[in-house]
């Protein structure tokens, strides 16, 4: 018998079936070189103001699969309804590697939600975090490989922390690496952090993946990371996540023309 929950686990999955009904907040991902919103990460929140922790604490082995599916559908529904109509931005969805049973079968609800919302699946990015221990790295490798074949963008979140580190990148490769905020914090004052990020940028050129700096909070961090070759940014310096809201370029002062890129 498979160690993963079968596809019946997502039958009729929806945000209202959980003890803490949830919705999504959205945080912009910006391309600083082009001064545009590149995408939005969807982040779970309670419908009545509960934190992500309050929502995620209800996830168990029994409902993990249904929760993962419901989060995807909810994020896509909101993107189709509320993302600016002229936007071609990506929608980034966190997925739980230990919740996905078989990629080709489990993607059906996602594709159905995309079709219903008139949101192109080519604009979907799936990211998984190193901070969730992977029970079967071969299985995760299979997920990433199949998702890339299907045309989705894939990303490793929180790179530089968690369970796997460089070993995970040696095992398989995603389209984007999101540098963990612990490496970003005060990088302008830390030669060691700068050296590590420079090493990541060297790997990105050799292995052909893009790098995104997350958790950016200050102008000094932004300028330092940009000088190191990073174009994609996410963090409070640009915008905080807002429930069911998609901030556009005009809402982000850091993308204004008078922000001097070094």
Write out pLDDT tens, residues 222-251.
999 999 999 999 999 999 999 999 999 999
SS3 at position 93: strand
Element (H, E) at 250: none
- Provide block-wise average pLDDT over 10 residues at a time, the chain (262 residues): 46 58 96 95 93 89 84 95 91 79 77 94 86 65 87 88 67 89 95 95 94 96 96 96 95 76 58
What pLDDT does residue 167 have?
74
What pLDDT does residue 82 have?
95
Strands 124-129 and 90-94, bridge-based pairing: parallel
SS3 at position 154: strand
What pLDDT does residue 17 have?
64
What pLDDT does residue 4 have?
43
How many residues are given for the chain? Answer: 262
What pLDDT does residue 13 have?
53
SS3 at position 158: strand
What pLDDT does residue 51 have?
92
User: Which residue in the block uniquely carries the two structure tokens 């189709």?
Assistant: 80
| Nearest in space to 201 (alpha carbons), one of 219, 235, 218, 224 | 224
Whether 106 contacts 49, CB under 8 Å: no
What pLDDT does residue 41 have?
97
Residue ranges and CATH numbers for the domains of the chain are 22-250 (3.20.20.450)
| Nearest in space to 201 (alpha carbons), one of 189, 186, 187, 215 | 187
Element (H, E) at 179: strand 176-179
Whether 179 contacts 199, CB under 8 Å: no
User: Which residue in the block uniquely carries the two structure tokens 């419908």?
Assistant: 47
What pLDDT does residue 198 have?
96
What pLDDT does residue 142 have?
83
What pLDDT does residue 1 have?
33
| C-alpha to C-alpha distances, 66 to 16, 36, 99, 148, 261, nearest whole angstrom | 12, 34, 8, 23, 44
User: Which residue in the block uniquely carries the two structure tokens 């966190």?
Assistant: 94
Give the DSSP letter string of 7-42.
Answer: GGGGTT--GGGSSS-EEEEEEEEEETTTTEEEEEEE
Exposure of 207 in the CB half-sphere (CA atoms within 13 A) = 19
């Amino acid at each position: 018998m498979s160690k993963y929950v079968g596809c019946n686990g997502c039958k009729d999955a929806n945000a209202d079936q959980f003890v803490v009904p949830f919705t999504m907040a959205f945080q912009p991902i910006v391309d600083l070189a082009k001064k545009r919103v590149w995408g939005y990460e969807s982040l779970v929140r309670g419908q009545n103001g509960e934190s992500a922790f309050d929502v995620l604490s209800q996830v168990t082995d029994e409902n993990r699969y249904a929760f993962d599916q419901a989060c995807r559908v909810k994020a896509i529904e909101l993107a189709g309804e509320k993302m600016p109509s002229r936007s071609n931005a990506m929608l980034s969805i966190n997925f739980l590697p230990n919740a996905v049973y078989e990629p080709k079968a489990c993607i059906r609800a996602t594709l159905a939600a995309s079709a219903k919302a008139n949101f192109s699946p080519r604009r979907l990015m799936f990211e998984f975090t190193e901070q969730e221990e992977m029970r079967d790295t071969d299985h995760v490798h299979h997920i990433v490989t199949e998702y890339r074949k299907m045309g989705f963008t894939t990303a490793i979140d929180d790179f530089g922390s968690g369970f796997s580190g460089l070993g995970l990148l040696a095992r398989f490769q995603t389209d984007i690496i999101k540098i963990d905020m612990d490496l970003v914090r005060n990088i302008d004052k830390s030669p060691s952090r700068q050296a590590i990020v420079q090493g990541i940028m060297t790997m990105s050129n050799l292995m052909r993946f893009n790098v995104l700096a997350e958790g950016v909070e200050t102008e000094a961090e932004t300028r330092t990371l940009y000088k190191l070759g990073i174009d994609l940014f996410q963090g409070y310096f640009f915008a905080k996540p807002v429930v069911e809201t998609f901030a556009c370029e005009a809402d982000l002062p850091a993308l204004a023309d008078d922000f001097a890129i070094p």
